[in-house]
Amino acid sequence: MARPLTLLLVRHGQSEWNAAGLMQGQTPHVPLTELGHAQAAAAAAELAGLRPGALLSSDLLRAVQTAEHCARATGLTLETAPALREQGYGVLEGRPSRELWDVVDWTDPYWSAPGGESLTELHARVEAFLKHLCAEPPADVIALVTHGDTIRAAQAVAAGLGPDAMPVVTPHNGTVTRLEICE
């Protein structure tokens, strides 16, 4: 049995598209707002007190900008990992989120927008990444800067739940969620 790992899952700060109510998915270039930078700095200060030994981030700009705050606060080197990206929403990215509630069955784990990724595919991607971390952990406490749906998938994987039972509550922007895995 692998040793237990502590993951400190940091949701990126508010992005310009969060503020505008637009579906982001894996759109790479969306930056943080001024509030988002403040949220990232606060999360980074909290993270520094938790003393992670490694810092990994999604490679999407909003996560990288958040992770840069975390790197400064912790003194850790930032490494990016595409596996930590948000769920891909394909052709829906950039559209107002409020327009999509009547169009999409968010509870169907096999549904995906054209060019996007289903919850089942997201869950499998996150599960494979976490299995790799358990097999070759860079530290006993690892900070992962990522996205709301990715955090929910990690929570499901850690609890032994499938994509049909992911938590419904998404952590707020700029928060740190503690998770134990590999037990």
Exactly one of 37, 68, 69, 86 is catalytic; which is it? 86
Q: Which helix (H) or strand (E) holds 6?
A: strand 5-11
Model pLDDT, residue 100: 87
Residue pair 178/8 in contact (Cβ under 8 Å)? The answer is: yes
Specify the pTM. Answer: 0.96
Tell me the sheet residues that pair with 5. Answer: 181
pLDDT digits (tens, 9 = 90+) for 84-116: 999 999 999 999 998 888 878 778 999 999 999
pLDDT of residue 123 exceeding 60, the answer is yes
- Which pLDDT band, with edges at 50, 70 and 90, does 2 fall under? low
Please give the backbone phi and psi of residue 111, each rounded to the nearest 5 degrees, phi first: -75, 140
Helix/strand number for the chain, H first, E second: 5, 5
Distance, CA of 13 to CA of 38 (rounded, Å): 8
Residue pair 76/164 in contact (Cβ under 8 Å)? The answer is: no
Domain boundaries defined on the chain: 5-181
* Across 119-131, average pLDDT: 97
Exactly one of 12, 37, 123, 147 is catalytic; which is it? 12
CATH superfamily, domain at 5-181: Phosphoglycerate mutase-like (3.40.50.1240)
**Is 12 marked active-site?**
yes
Residue pair 85/60 in contact (Cβ under 8 Å)? The answer is: yes
Distance, CA of 121 to CA of 177 (rounded, Å): 22
**Is 68 marked active-site?**
no
